[in-house]
Structure 1
Amino acid sequence: MPKIVDHDARRREIVAAVWALIARKGLDAVTMRDLAAEAGYANGALAPYFRGKDDILLAAFQYAVESTDARAERAIGDATGLVALRRLCHEIMPLDETRLLEARVVVAFWGRALHDRRMAAVHVTAVDRWRQRMAGCLAEARAAGEIRGAAPDERSADALLATLAGFQVNALLVPHTATPDHQRATLDGLLASF
């Protein structure tokens, strides 16, 4: 009887291997041979799951965004306004090992996205979705009297996104400036300014 293979599970294993390699060696060091070894497969055994390295890297980038989105949905639940906004931001911020690994993966892909329109599209779609969600939370907060600032909600959402991207970079390159406590305090200060 032929062995039944769960192709989605295998794809997730391969993506996890990409993440592990990026975390240890950086994106540029990921080779198909190393990736196969990391995933526990023979060289060439990745072909049934991905067309090549670019498709594997794209899947790893998409998975990072999807993981953040799924976590944010769970964290936000039925919350609205500033509570929902703060929870969304916390899921994007590198506050623990899981989110720090995601930041490591995402930041590694930013340079590649400059020259790969498929990766750029993943990034643009995610940022647009987060901006829209943030502006919606800010509008709810304004309607509830939680914020009174004159800045348009879209501009405030852009300030939040820029701050969160800065947290991701700083957590990787100058971690003493981006401790979880520092990130939370900075976010709270920014939200208070609204």
Structure 2
Amino acid sequence: MYGVILWIFPSLLTAIAMVREKEKGTILQVYASSISATELLLGKGMAYLLIAITEALIVIGLGTIIFQVGLVNNPITLLLGTLIFLIDSVMFGLLVGVRSNNQNSAVQIISLVGFITSLLLSGFIYPLNNIPFPLSLVTNVVPARYYINITRDAFLRGTGWSGVWFDFLMLTILGLVFFNVSRRILSKMQISD
């Protein structure tokens, strides 16, 4: 459940905040300023990453206490994997916020793309090898898939870095893709000198 919860809520909060700036018109001040698209995205991202980290600590702490599930191996892989996954979630929210024109469409995109893929195409409910061919290709770009592997390793398998290095690599690549696409879209919107 960590993968689904930590994918939906940080991205939803970030997308709504970004769209709210557009709706109120305050983003025009940013476009006219000397702030680059990269600086704006990193600033917004850091603020919502702190909120996401707080949420992750609460969710993982409550899950561990309520279900009495302990870590099998070194917690560093889980903590670092959670941080990278939260960065991906916030970057996805920024991407949706940059593309959407109102809050309703941002919520619908997060619900449709984020929730359905993290629930159905991540290996959470159905094993990945049971997903038919065209959809099985989509599973390769679902960050929740890789985070679920990291959490399964931390709480059940205990293989450590040797078992999850590819998941870390894919989460990092997907986060960079989300950030670069958002940056390119936002830099086209800025007023040129």
Work out which structure has the larger RCO, using CA pairs closer than 8 Å and 6 or more positions apart in sequence: 2
Q: Which has the higher helix share?
A: 2
TM over 0.5: no
TM-score range, shorter chain: 0.3 to 0.5
TM-score, with structure 2 as normaliser: 0.34
TM-score, with structure 1 as normaliser: 0.34
